Structure formats: structure tokens, C-alpha cells
């Protein structure tokens, strides 16, 4: 839908149930494992979005057969890849962090000549820690074209020739996840001059952000037959850290079911919290692989009720209060929480998310700027923010909200319009990155139409 503005219409408390589309994180992980597996795979419940489309397109360019069915919700993947010695293959990865980080690691392990580039914002997002980690084991070369160690990335590789890798974990857990998924490829690659590897150890240097995503990666790898273990350890400074060990067993094709997206689910649970309603998200339980189901526990701390059933999780809105919370493990839901915090009594302090400044946009500074438009006072900190909501409801004001081409800014901040008249979201089409049907699904859930316009 090519429109410039969407405005939600305030109304009654939101009540209903919904099943979000498949997880972007799981879809792209499963795609990568299936692409390098022996035998075909079928991925059921996959997400069809910009992020998954650029992954599929890139895999096809390197020789993977990917067939789409059911509007992209079913993917049939047959890789059977061998390393390449051809002229550079150009891969466009848009603004998909998972795609550029996972493929950078995987293709360096496979071997071949590649260049990965994206949209201008992608060329501002750091990837230097991953490139440095790969440079220590690659038989060939890997480099960024940017002096700031951002994409585009150039790879000219004959695979990996070392079994000890060290990577920083404080900017993105996707660096570690990419190396983990690449390791079975390196262990199976046979075109290197060096002796074949039998085991790879990946050591995280310092803090590891978003740990649940690493556990998710390990779980997907195991489903596809990889031998992987994630182990806690203490580094030389006696700080908690992580080592991952991968042994020489490759990926095997299979049929794989993908969970609904828990990050997307956070918006619907938040709708219940903001309006004092009741919303069930189907297909997710506390045992889900995605750590973002933990957002429900944060809402509980704020005064909501969480009801766990076999088919899903329900949030029932209550009297909201501000909290002090470390969201390192569920940092993709910080923007969602910030909107809930607007309607709480007392301030909400968010900690542990310094790495959010390096996402699709600065999800601390830019988020704070937009929240202030809605009447909040916001203090920025090195690791997060403190949100002081308006003291009285009359202090709320409508505003035109910039989204910075960030899908999560658009989806989360639109929820303020469930209570505040006149909240206008620019460039709502940016939700296509992970959830193209978000506003249509939200419209069905709240049982009233949004206002669409081409005017700013």
C-alpha cells in the first residue's frame, strides 16, 4: 500500500486473538541451514517479508534452489552447494542485518568470491567485529569497503583454516550466530589446501547481548543435524562469557515448522496493556525458542495479567506502573515497552540496550525524540533510557511521528494512537521489512479502520 501516513483511531479496549506471521529470525536461520544441508528441506509457516526475500534472492544467486508456495509461507529448499571459484557474485541485502551477517560468515566458510551490499543505512551499520573474527581463520581475504568497518563486504575465500575463533559480543549477537551457523559449512568444505577441520570453538570476548537469540540459533542448527553446544565460561578478567563448540557433522534436510514471530506478538500484547483490554497471541508459549515471549513477563511487572494456555499466551490489561528493567535479552521489544510506559504511573527505566543504537536506526536517541512529541520526558543513558509519562492524561498530544525507515518504530509507536487522538505515523510501508500485513492485522484485531493519507 503506497501511502505516506497512517493514523489509528482511539476506541474501546482491544479484545481478541491473533496469530502473527512466522518469525523472521527463525525463517532466515532455517533458510541458511537448509541451503547448506544434504538433501531438500521444507520450511512451513515461513515469513514473507523484505528481510526474508533478500535472503532467498541471495541464496538463489549462489546456486540454491528455493521454491515458494502458499504466498511464501512454505519454502522448499535444495542446496547441495560446493565452494565457488568464479568472478565476484554481487548480493544485495537491503537493510537486513540477519542476511548480511549470516551470509558473510557462511560464504567465507564455503569459499568463493562475493560482494555484499545494501541500502545506505546498511552501509552505516557496523560489521567490523564479525569481519575481524573471520579474518583470523579465513584462507583468503575479507574486508569492508567502509573506513568505519561497515558494509559493503568483499570476500575472496577458500574456506576456513583454523578452529579457534574469537568475536566481540557487545554490538550484536548476530555475529556469533552467523559464525555458529557457518562452522558446519567450514567443517564440511573439502577444497582447502589445509588439513580438514574436525571441531571449531568460538569464544565470545566480553559481554554477549541478546543471549536468547544465540540459544535460538543453536536450537535451529540442532534440528538440521548439527552438533553444537553453547557453554558459559569466565574470561581472563573473571567476567561471564560464552564459548560455542561445533563438531564435524553437517546439516541434513528436513521438514521444519517455524513459530509465529514473538517480536511482532509484542505489539498485540501491548495493545491489551495500553487499552486495558485482553489479547491472546496464538501459537506461542513460554517454551518458545524466541526470547521475546519474555515481554509478557515485563508487562506482568507493570500490572498486567498473563494467562498461559496450550494454544497461546493472553495478556489482560491492568493499572500500569513504571518499572526498572534490564531488556538486554529482549532488546527488540524496547520500543514496544516505551509506548506502554507512556500510560504508566511513574517513570520506566530501561537498561542493558546500548547496542540498540546500531539497529535499523538509533533506537535510543531517535526513539526518545519521538516519545517527547507525545508529551513524555525522556532521559537518555549510555545503556538505555528513562521515560517519564505525562502526569495527567490531558498532557498527551497527537503528533506526526517519524519512523526513520525502521519497521519497529512504525509498529510500536502507532500503538499510542489506540489512546491518543492524532498520532500520525509516517512511511507505514516500512513495516514490510518484517511484517507487511501489520496494519491490516491490527485493524482486524481492533475492529475499526485506520485513517490513511498521502499528506504529511
Catalytic residue at 332?
Answer: yes
Cα(first)–Cα(last) distance of the chain, in Å? 16
Chain-centre distance for alpha carbon 453: 29
CA dihedral of 115, 118, 123, 126, whole degrees rounded to 10 = -80
Q: Read out DSSP for 254-316?
A: -EEE-PBPHHHHHHHHHHHHHHT-EEEEET--TT-S-GGGGHHHHHHHHT-EEEEETTEEEEE
- What contacts 69, CB < 8 A, 6 or more positions away? 75, 76
What gap in Å lies between CA 239 and CA 83, rounded to an integer?
38
Strand pairing class (278-282; 15-18): parallel
The three three-digit cell numbers of residue 153, written as one number: 563486504
What gap in Å lies between CA 254 and CA 226, rounded to an integer?
12
**Given 129, 292, 332, 405, the catalytic residue:** 332
Strand pairing class (451-453; 5-7): antiparallel
The three three-digit cell numbers of residue 446, written as one number: 481492533
Q: From residue 87, how far is each of 84, 113, 168, 321, 384 by CA, in Å? A: 9, 6, 31, 59, 44
Instruction: Say how many C-beta atoms besides its own lie within 10 A of residue 426's C-beta.
Output: 18
Residues annotated as catalytic are 332
Amino acid at each position: 500500500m503506497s501511502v505516506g501516513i497512517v493514523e489509528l483511531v482511539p476506541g474501546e479496549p482491544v479484545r481478541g486473538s491473533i496469530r502473527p506471521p512466522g518469525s523472521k529470525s527463525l525463517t532466515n536461520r532455517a533458510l541458511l541451514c537448509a541451503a547448506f544441508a544434504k538433501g531438500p528441506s521444507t520450511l512451513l509457516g515461513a515469513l514473507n517479508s523484505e528481510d526474508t526475500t533478500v535472503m532467498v534472492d541471495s541464496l538463489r544467486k549462489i546456486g540454491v534452489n528455493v521454491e515458494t508456495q502458499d504466498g511464501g509461507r512454505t519454502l522448499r529448499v535444495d542446496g547441495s552447494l560446493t565452494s565457488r571459484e568464479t568472478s565476484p557474485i554481487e548480493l544485495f541485502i537491503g537493510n537486513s542485518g540477519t542476511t548480511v551477517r549470516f551470509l558473510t560468515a557462511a560464504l567465507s566458510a564455503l569459499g568463493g568470491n562475493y560482494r555484499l551490499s545494501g541500502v545506505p543505512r546498511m552501509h552505516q551499520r557496523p560489521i567490523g567485529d564479525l569481519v575481524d573474527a573471520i579474518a583470523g581463520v579465513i584462507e583468503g581475504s575479507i574486508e569492508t569497503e567502509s573506513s568505519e568497518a561497515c558494509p559493503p563486504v568483499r570476500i575472496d575465500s577458500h574456506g576456513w583454516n583454523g578452529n579457534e575463533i574469537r568475536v566481540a559480543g557487545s554490538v550484536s549477537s548476530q555475529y556469533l550466530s552467523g559464525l555458529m551457523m557457518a562452522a558446519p559449512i567450514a567443517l564440511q568444505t573439502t577444497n582447502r589446501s589445509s588439513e580438514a577441520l574436525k571441531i571449531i570453538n568460538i569464544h565470545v570476548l566480553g559481554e554477549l547481548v541478546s543471549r536468547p537469540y544465540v540459544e535460538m540459533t543453536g536450537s535451529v542448527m540442532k534440528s538440521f543435524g548439527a552438533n553444537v553446544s553453547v557453554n558459559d565460561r569466565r574470561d581472563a578478567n573473571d567476567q561471564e562469557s560464552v564459548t560455542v563448540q561445533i563438531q564435524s557433522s553437517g546439516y541434513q534436510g528436513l521438514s521444519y515448522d517455524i513459530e509465529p514471530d514473538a517480536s511482532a506478538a509484542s505489539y498485540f500484547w501491548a495493545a491489551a496493556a495500553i487499552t486495558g483490554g485482553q489479547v491472546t497471541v496464538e501459537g506461542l508459549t513460554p517454551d518458545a525458542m524466541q526470547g521475546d515471549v519474555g515481554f509478557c513477563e515485563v508487562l506482568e511487572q507493570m500490572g498486567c495479567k498473563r494467562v498461559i494456555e496450550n494454544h497461546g499466551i493472553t495478556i489482560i490489561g491492568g493499572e500500569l506502573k513504571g518499572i526498572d528493567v534490564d531488556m538486554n535479552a529482549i532488546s527488540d521489544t524496547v520500543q514496544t515497552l516505551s509506548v506502554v510506559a507512556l500510560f504508566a504511573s511513574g517513570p520506566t527505566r530501561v537498561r542493558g540496550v546500548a547496542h540498540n543504537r546500531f539497529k535499523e536506526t538509533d533506537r535510543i536517541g531517535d526513539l526518545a525524540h519521538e516519545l517527547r512529541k507525545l508529551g513524555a520526558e525522556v532521559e537518555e543513558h549510555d545503556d538505555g533510557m528513562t521515560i517519564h509519562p505525562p502526569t495527567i492524561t490531558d498532557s498527551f498530544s497527537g503528533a506526526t511521528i517519524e519512523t526513520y525507515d525502521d519497521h519497529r518504530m512504525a509498529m510500536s509507536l502507532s500503538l499510542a494512537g489506540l489512546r491518543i487522538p492524532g498520532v500520525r505515523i509516517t512511511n507505514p510501508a516500512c513495516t514490510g521489512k518484517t511484517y507487511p500485513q501489520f496494519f491490516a492485522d491490527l485493524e482486524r484485531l481492533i475492529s475499526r479502520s485506520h485513517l490513511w493519507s498521502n499528506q504529511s
